[in-house]
Amino acid sequence: HYWISGEVGIPASKKLGIPLIHTMHTMAKVKNLNLAEGESPEPGSRVRGEMEVVESAQGLIANTDAEAASLVSLYSACPDLVHVVTPGVDLYTFTAGQGRAHAREQLHIPAGAHVITFVGRIQPHKGPDLLIRATAEMLSHSPHLRSKLIVFVIGGVSGAGTAEVEKLKEMVKWSGISDVVRFMPPMSRNELPDWYRAADLVCVPSYSESFGLVALESQACGTPVVATAVGGLRTAVADGISGVLVDGHDPRAWSSVLARLLAEPQRRVLLSMGAIEHASHFGWDATARGTLDVYDRVLSESAKIRATYGR
């Protein structure tokens, strides 16, 4: 949850005399350390709100070890109150299904195309512009790829207005790759699996991610992921096994990784197998069990405190 939910939980916890357990959904201080170029920092009011939640909660759930470390180092959380439970993916919806060929047939995508897909909100910290720059860079060095390459950008605006989407479309235009990049509207969870399956690669070029469910959904569908080596993506993607993690946001580095993977179909097959195996460890059942375990521990500790101190 965002900190706003936690702030509502603080008075409720006190009034009802029950412990507050909060699961962070991104953190302002982490985002502010990893801003995209031109991106505005998170406001001080959010930072103060998050600090208050951390100070008030009897239990904090982090998505990954990295996020747990950030809670301790950036928010001075008590290490004993921080528990790691990785998010899960619906492994009954996000599956390999009938494979890539069938998905492409359903979506009218050429069977022999090289397909790279981005899924997410169109906002700077998700890095869709990096994929555009990397695509332009790749085609400048490997023009023979142009006739087969399709880059799907699936997603909509974040908040009010369409400025970011229009800016991205303008970048595509002046980069000379309008024939390659196709903008698609946001998809429902029932539509997304085929779009993941149809892709050769799914890109997650974020500047920060508390976890990266898009990466996990893609892998569950059998599609390798190329992602930035930041935050929870280091957990969501098994580097060299289910995808490739890229250090930094240099379009040339991303271009090199993408071109190399497109040129190595056998490696993509191995990564696809690794992706399905890796994602299988992140089902909702495991997340539910982990969350319930934290609840049980916090409630047990709270009961001991009440028994000892009478409150």
For the chain, the structural domain boundaries read 3-88+283-309, 99-279
Dump pLDDT digits (tens) for 292-310.
999 999 999 888 777 676 6
Q: Which tokens hold the place of 127?
A: 């890095």
Q: Which of 23-37, 144-158, 177-191 has the lowest mean pLDDT?
A: 23-37
Hey, what amino acid is at 271? L
- pLDDT for 160 equals 52
pLDDT tens for each residue of 212-230: 999 999 999 999 999 999 9
Write the pLDDT tens digit of every residue in 163-215: 888 999 999 999 999 999 999 999 999 999 999 999 999 999 999 888 899 99
Instruction: Among 1.10.760.10, 3.60.10.10, 1.10.260.30, 3.40.50.2000, name the CATH number for the domain at 99-279.
Output: 3.40.50.2000
Give CA–CA dist 6/50, Å, rounded.
8
Top CATH class of 3-88+283-309 equals: alpha beta
pLDDT at 309: 66
The reply to whether domains 3-88+283-309 and 99-279 share a CATH topology is yes
Beta strands in 35-159 (DSSP E): 59-62, 82-84, 114-119, 149-154
Helix (H, G, I), strand (E, B) or coil at 183: strand
CA dist., res. 86 & res. 91, Å (int): 15
Cα distance between residue 198 and residue 221, in whole Å: 9
Instruction: Note the pLDDT tens digit of each residue in 260-294.
Output: 999 999 999 999 999 999 999 999 999 999 999 99
Largest CA distance in the chain: 75
Mean pLDDT for the stretch of residues 95-113: 97
Closest CA to 51 of 23, 27, 75, 81: 75
Residue 129's alpha-carbon distances to 13, 102, 180, 233, 260, in angstroms, are: 43, 30, 14, 18, 20
**Three-state DSSP class for residue 271:** helix
Residue 147 — very low, low, confident or very high, per pLDDT cuts 50/70/90? Answer: very high
Q: Is 184 exposed, middle or buried (0-12, 13-18, 19+ CB in 10 A)?
A: middle
